[in-house]
Amino acid sequence: MRKTYKLYIGGAFPRSESGRSYVVSNAKGKFLANASQASRKDARDAVVAARKAFTGWHGRTAYNRGQVLYRIAEVMEGRHQQFSAEVSASEGLSISKARAVVDESIDRWVWYAGWADKLAQVVGSSNPVAGPYFDFSLPEATGVVAVLAPQDSSLLGLTSVIAPAIVSGNTVVAVSSFERPLPAITLGEVMATSDVPGGVVNILTGSASEVGPWLASHMDVNAIDLCGIVDPEEATELEIAAADNLKRVRRPAEEDWSADQGMSRLTQYLELKTVWHPIGV
Protein backbone atom coordinates (compact mmCIF):
# COMPACT_ATOMS: atom_id res chain seq x y z
CA MET A 1 0.00 0.00 0.00
CA ARG A 2 1.36 3.48 -0.87
CA LYS A 3 1.41 6.12 1.76
CA THR A 4 0.06 9.69 1.59
CA TYR A 5 2.70 12.22 2.41
CA LYS A 6 1.42 15.16 4.42
CA LEU A 7 2.74 18.04 6.47
CA TYR A 8 3.52 17.70 10.15
CA ILE A 9 2.19 20.63 12.20
CA GLY A 10 1.45 20.73 15.92
CA GLY A 11 1.67 16.95 16.22
CA ALA A 12 -0.89 16.34 13.47
CA PHE A 13 -0.55 15.50 9.80
CA PRO A 14 -2.65 17.97 7.83
CA ARG A 15 -2.62 18.43 4.08
CA SER A 16 -1.58 21.88 2.99
CA GLU A 17 -4.40 24.34 3.65
CA SER A 18 -3.82 25.49 0.06
CA GLY A 19 -4.79 22.05 -1.15
CA ARG A 20 -1.66 21.96 -3.29
CA SER A 21 0.64 19.03 -3.81
CA TYR A 22 3.62 18.44 -6.05
CA VAL A 23 5.24 15.50 -7.67
CA VAL A 24 8.27 14.03 -6.00
CA SER A 25 10.54 11.96 -8.19
CA ASN A 26 13.51 9.85 -7.45
CA ALA A 27 17.03 10.80 -8.46
CA LYS A 28 16.40 9.27 -11.88
CA GLY A 29 13.17 11.17 -12.44
CA LYS A 30 10.74 8.36 -11.71
CA PHE A 31 7.54 9.27 -9.84
CA LEU A 32 7.72 8.52 -6.14
CA ALA A 33 4.82 10.32 -4.50
CA ASN A 34 2.76 13.47 -4.31
CA ALA A 35 3.92 15.69 -1.45
CA SER A 36 1.92 18.47 0.12
CA GLN A 37 3.18 21.86 -1.00
CA ALA A 38 3.18 24.05 2.07
CA SER A 39 1.83 27.55 1.76
CA ARG A 40 2.19 30.84 3.64
CA LYS A 41 -0.72 29.84 5.86
CA ASP A 42 0.79 26.47 6.67
CA ALA A 43 3.94 28.32 7.76
CA ARG A 44 1.80 30.61 9.89
CA ASP A 45 0.05 27.65 11.52
CA ALA A 46 3.36 25.93 12.13
CA VAL A 47 4.76 29.01 13.88
CA VAL A 48 1.68 29.17 16.09
CA ALA A 49 2.14 25.49 16.97
CA ALA A 50 5.83 25.96 17.63
CA ARG A 51 5.23 28.99 19.87
CA LYS A 52 2.55 27.13 21.78
CA ALA A 53 4.88 24.21 22.38
CA PHE A 54 7.84 26.38 23.38
CA THR A 55 7.06 27.06 27.03
CA GLY A 56 6.47 23.42 27.87
CA TRP A 57 9.42 22.07 25.91
CA HIS A 58 11.82 24.71 27.14
CA GLY A 59 10.53 24.18 30.67
CA ARG A 60 11.39 20.50 30.72
CA THR A 61 14.50 19.34 32.44
CA ALA A 62 17.55 18.96 30.27
CA TYR A 63 17.69 15.31 31.29
CA ASN A 64 14.19 14.81 29.95
CA ARG A 65 14.89 16.54 26.65
CA GLY A 66 17.97 14.39 26.22
CA GLN A 67 15.88 11.28 26.70
CA VAL A 68 13.28 12.47 24.22
CA LEU A 69 15.99 13.03 21.61
CA TYR A 70 17.46 9.64 22.33
CA ARG A 71 14.00 8.15 21.88
CA ILE A 72 13.86 9.69 18.39
CA ALA A 73 16.99 7.72 17.55
CA GLU A 74 15.44 4.54 18.92
CA VAL A 75 12.26 4.95 16.93
CA MET A 76 14.24 5.77 13.78
CA GLU A 77 16.13 2.55 14.24
CA GLY A 78 12.81 0.72 13.97
CA ARG A 79 12.13 2.43 10.65
CA HIS A 80 15.61 1.95 9.34
CA GLN A 81 14.51 0.17 6.24
CA GLN A 82 11.97 2.79 5.26
CA PHE A 83 14.45 5.61 5.79
CA SER A 84 17.09 3.77 3.80
CA ALA A 85 14.73 3.24 0.91
CA GLU A 86 13.67 6.88 0.90
CA VAL A 87 17.21 8.24 1.18
CA SER A 88 18.34 5.88 -1.54
CA ALA A 89 15.53 6.92 -3.85
CA SER A 90 15.80 10.63 -3.02
CA GLU A 91 19.52 11.03 -3.15
CA GLY A 92 20.32 8.36 -5.72
CA LEU A 93 22.52 6.43 -3.34
CA SER A 94 22.99 2.70 -3.35
CA ILE A 95 20.97 1.02 -0.64
CA SER A 96 24.10 0.23 1.35
CA LYS A 97 25.29 3.83 1.18
CA ALA A 98 21.81 5.00 2.11
CA ARG A 99 21.88 2.66 5.09
CA ALA A 100 25.13 4.25 6.19
CA VAL A 101 23.51 7.69 5.92
CA VAL A 102 20.60 6.52 8.07
CA ASP A 103 23.06 5.10 10.60
CA GLU A 104 24.86 8.40 10.68
CA SER A 105 21.59 10.27 11.11
CA ILE A 106 20.60 8.08 14.03
CA ASP A 107 24.05 8.56 15.54
CA ARG A 108 23.63 12.28 15.15
CA TRP A 109 20.43 12.25 17.18
CA VAL A 110 22.24 10.29 19.85
CA TRP A 111 25.14 12.74 19.79
CA TYR A 112 22.89 15.76 20.17
CA ALA A 113 20.74 13.97 22.78
CA GLY A 114 23.78 13.81 25.01
CA TRP A 115 24.32 17.55 24.76
CA ALA A 116 21.04 18.40 26.51
CA ASP A 117 22.38 18.28 30.04
CA LYS A 118 25.90 19.40 29.24
CA LEU A 119 25.29 22.65 27.42
CA ALA A 120 24.84 24.74 30.54
CA GLN A 121 28.07 23.45 31.96
CA VAL A 122 30.06 24.06 28.82
CA VAL A 123 28.46 27.32 27.73
CA GLY A 124 27.43 28.78 31.09
CA SER A 125 29.70 30.40 33.60
CA SER A 126 30.10 31.63 37.10
CA ASN A 127 31.37 35.18 36.93
CA PRO A 128 33.79 36.44 39.57
CA VAL A 129 32.55 40.03 39.77
CA ALA A 130 34.42 42.55 41.89
CA GLY A 131 31.80 42.87 44.59
CA PRO A 132 29.58 40.96 47.01
CA TYR A 133 27.42 39.36 44.36
CA PHE A 134 26.80 35.84 43.19
CA ASP A 135 26.73 36.12 39.42
CA PHE A 136 26.17 33.33 36.95
CA SER A 137 25.31 32.96 33.31
CA LEU A 138 23.18 30.21 31.84
CA PRO A 139 22.24 29.40 28.28
CA GLU A 140 18.58 29.38 27.39
CA ALA A 141 16.68 28.53 24.23
CA THR A 142 16.10 31.43 21.84
CA GLY A 143 12.50 30.46 21.06
CA VAL A 144 10.98 29.52 17.74
CA VAL A 145 13.57 28.64 15.13
CA ALA A 146 12.78 28.48 11.42
CA VAL A 147 14.99 26.03 9.62
CA LEU A 148 15.27 25.96 5.87
CA ALA A 149 16.80 22.52 5.62
CA PRO A 150 19.53 21.59 3.16
CA GLN A 151 18.37 20.74 -0.33
CA ASP A 152 20.86 17.95 -0.88
CA SER A 153 21.14 15.93 2.31
CA SER A 154 17.55 14.92 2.88
CA LEU A 155 17.91 13.09 6.19
CA LEU A 156 21.39 13.58 7.66
CA GLY A 157 21.37 17.26 6.77
CA LEU A 158 17.83 17.68 8.05
CA THR A 159 18.68 15.95 11.30
CA SER A 160 21.79 18.06 11.68
CA VAL A 161 19.83 21.29 11.48
CA ILE A 162 16.82 20.31 13.62
CA ALA A 163 18.49 18.44 16.47
CA PRO A 164 20.82 21.24 17.65
CA ALA A 165 17.87 23.62 17.82
CA ILE A 166 15.48 21.47 19.80
CA VAL A 167 17.94 19.86 22.19
CA SER A 168 18.31 23.14 24.10
CA GLY A 169 14.57 23.77 24.24
CA ASN A 170 13.83 25.67 21.05
CA THR A 171 10.93 24.62 18.88
CA VAL A 172 11.33 24.34 15.15
CA VAL A 173 9.51 25.00 11.94
CA ALA A 174 11.49 23.17 9.29
CA VAL A 175 11.07 23.41 5.54
CA SER A 176 12.38 20.21 3.99
CA SER A 177 14.43 19.77 0.88
CA PHE A 178 12.08 20.59 -2.01
CA GLU A 179 13.07 17.75 -4.28
CA ARG A 180 13.82 15.23 -1.53
CA PRO A 181 11.06 15.65 1.06
CA LEU A 182 10.19 12.02 1.76
CA PRO A 183 12.68 11.30 4.57
CA ALA A 184 11.51 14.52 6.22
CA ILE A 185 7.93 13.34 6.27
CA THR A 186 8.95 10.01 7.69
CA LEU A 187 10.99 11.83 10.31
CA GLY A 188 7.79 13.68 11.21
CA GLU A 189 6.11 10.33 11.68
CA VAL A 190 8.94 9.30 13.95
CA MET A 191 8.41 12.47 15.99
CA ALA A 192 4.72 11.72 16.25
CA THR A 193 5.33 8.20 17.50
CA SER A 194 8.16 8.96 19.86
CA ASP A 195 7.99 11.24 22.91
CA VAL A 196 8.38 14.58 21.17
CA PRO A 197 5.49 16.80 22.17
CA GLY A 198 3.37 18.10 19.31
CA GLY A 199 4.57 21.42 17.98
CA VAL A 200 8.19 21.03 19.05
CA VAL A 201 9.13 20.04 15.52
CA ASN A 202 6.95 21.07 12.60
CA ILE A 203 7.86 19.93 9.14
CA LEU A 204 6.72 21.60 5.98
CA THR A 205 7.40 20.10 2.60
CA GLY A 206 7.60 22.46 -0.33
CA SER A 207 9.63 25.35 -1.52
CA ALA A 208 11.94 27.20 0.86
CA SER A 209 11.89 30.07 -1.63
CA GLU A 210 8.14 30.32 -1.33
CA VAL A 211 7.72 29.73 2.41
CA GLY A 212 11.08 31.11 3.56
CA PRO A 213 10.19 34.80 3.17
CA TRP A 214 7.09 34.35 5.34
CA LEU A 215 9.15 32.73 8.05
CA ALA A 216 11.95 35.27 7.71
CA SER A 217 9.55 38.16 8.15
CA HIS A 218 7.41 36.49 10.81
CA MET A 219 7.63 38.60 13.98
CA ASP A 220 7.12 35.60 16.27
CA VAL A 221 10.06 33.66 14.88
CA ASN A 222 13.27 34.29 16.83
CA ALA A 223 15.91 32.72 14.63
CA ILE A 224 16.33 31.38 11.14
CA ASP A 225 18.74 28.97 9.51
CA LEU A 226 19.10 29.81 5.81
CA CYS A 227 20.98 26.62 5.08
CA GLY A 228 18.59 25.45 2.35
CA ILE A 229 18.74 28.68 0.34
CA VAL A 230 21.03 28.18 -2.62
CA ASP A 231 20.85 31.58 -4.32
CA PRO A 232 22.99 34.15 -2.43
CA GLU A 233 20.75 37.05 -3.42
CA GLU A 234 17.74 35.22 -2.10
CA ALA A 235 19.59 34.57 1.14
CA THR A 236 20.40 38.27 1.41
CA GLU A 237 16.75 39.15 0.92
CA LEU A 238 15.75 36.73 3.68
CA GLU A 239 18.43 38.09 6.01
CA ILE A 240 17.12 41.60 5.42
CA ALA A 241 13.56 40.47 6.16
CA ALA A 242 14.76 38.68 9.28
CA ALA A 243 16.23 41.92 10.62
CA ASP A 244 12.76 43.33 11.24
CA ASN A 245 12.61 41.66 14.63
CA LEU A 246 16.36 41.11 14.96
CA LYS A 247 16.22 37.37 14.28
CA ARG A 248 19.34 35.43 14.91
CA VAL A 249 20.35 34.48 11.37
CA ARG A 250 22.52 31.61 10.28
CA ARG A 251 23.78 32.35 6.80
CA PRO A 252 24.10 29.57 4.22
CA ALA A 253 27.60 28.12 4.10
CA GLU A 254 29.50 25.14 2.76
CA GLU A 255 28.51 22.25 5.00
CA ASP A 256 29.93 18.81 5.46
CA TRP A 257 27.19 16.81 7.16
CA SER A 258 29.47 13.83 7.72
CA ALA A 259 31.98 15.86 9.69
CA ASP A 260 32.03 16.48 13.42
CA GLN A 261 29.37 19.14 13.84
CA GLY A 262 30.97 21.02 16.68
CA MET A 263 28.94 23.37 18.82
CA SER A 264 28.27 26.23 16.47
CA ARG A 265 24.70 25.23 15.58
CA LEU A 266 23.99 24.48 19.21
CA THR A 267 25.11 27.89 20.38
CA GLN A 268 23.46 29.67 17.48
CA TYR A 269 20.05 29.28 19.10
CA LEU A 270 21.00 30.03 22.66
CA GLU A 271 20.58 33.20 24.64
CA LEU A 272 22.83 33.76 27.59
CA LYS A 273 21.08 34.92 30.74
CA THR A 274 23.16 36.46 33.50
CA VAL A 275 21.73 36.58 37.01
CA TRP A 276 23.05 38.71 39.85
CA HIS A 277 22.27 38.40 43.54
CA PRO A 278 23.87 40.07 46.53
CA ILE A 279 25.74 37.90 49.02
CA GLY A 280 24.95 38.99 52.55
CA VAL A 281 23.57 37.94 55.90
Partner 1 sequence: MSRFEYAPAPESRAIVDIKSSYGLFINGQFTDATDGKPFKTVSPASEEVLAEVSEAGPADVDKAVRAARKAFEKVWGPMSGKDRAKYLFRIARLIQERSRELAVLESLDNGKPIRESRDVDIPLVAAHFFYYAGWADKLEYAGVGDDPQPWGVAGQVIPWNFPMLMLAWKIAPALAAGNTVVLKPAETTPLTALAFAEICQQADLPPGVVNIVTGAGRTGQALVEHEGVDKVAFTGSTEVGRAIAKSVAGTHKAVTLELGGKAANIVFEDAPIDQTIEGIVNGIFFNQGHVCCAGSRLLVQESVYDEVLARLKRRMGTLRVGDPLDKNTDIGAINSAAQLAKIRELSQIGEDEGAERWSPECELPAHGYWFPPTVFTGVSQAHRIAREEIFGPVLSVLTFRTPQEAVEKANNTPFGLSAGIWTDKGSRILWMANQLRAGVVWANTFNRFDPTSPFGGYKESGYGREGGRHGLEAYLAH
Partner 2 sequence: MTTLDSGVDSLADVTSSEDRLRRFLLGLPGVDQVGAEARAATLGTRSIKTTAKAYALDLAISMIDLTTLEGQDTPGKIRALCAKAKRPDPADPTAPQVAAVCVYPDLVATAKHELKGSGISVASVATAFPSGRSSLAIKVQDTKDAVAAGADDVDMVIDRGAFLSGRYGLVFDEITAIREAAGDAHLKVILETGELVTYDNVRRASWLAMLAGADFIKTSTGKVSPAATLPVTLVMLEAVRDYHEATGLHIGVKPAGGIRTAKDAIKYLVTVNETAGPDWLDPELFRFGASSLLNDLLMQRTKLATGNYPGPDYFTLD
C-alpha 130/C-alpha 13 separation (Å) is 55
Closest CB to partner 2 among residues 19, 131: 131
Member of 19, 128, 132, 262 binding partner 2 (CB under 8 A): 132
118 belongs to the binding site for partner 1 (CB under 8 A): no
Name the binder of 244 from partner 1, partner 2, none, CB < 5-8 A by kind. partner 1
Name the binder of 279 from partner 1, partner 2, none, CB < 5-8 A by kind. partner 2
Closest CB to partner 2 among residues 29, 131: 131
Name the binder of 67 from partner 2, partner 1, none, CB < 5-8 A by kind. none
233 belongs to the binding site for partner 1 (CB under 8 A): yes
Name the binder of 248 from partner 2, partner 1, none, CB < 5-8 A by kind. partner 1
281 belongs to the binding site for partner 2 (CB under 8 A): yes
| Contact residues: partner 2, CB under 8 A | 131-133, 278-281
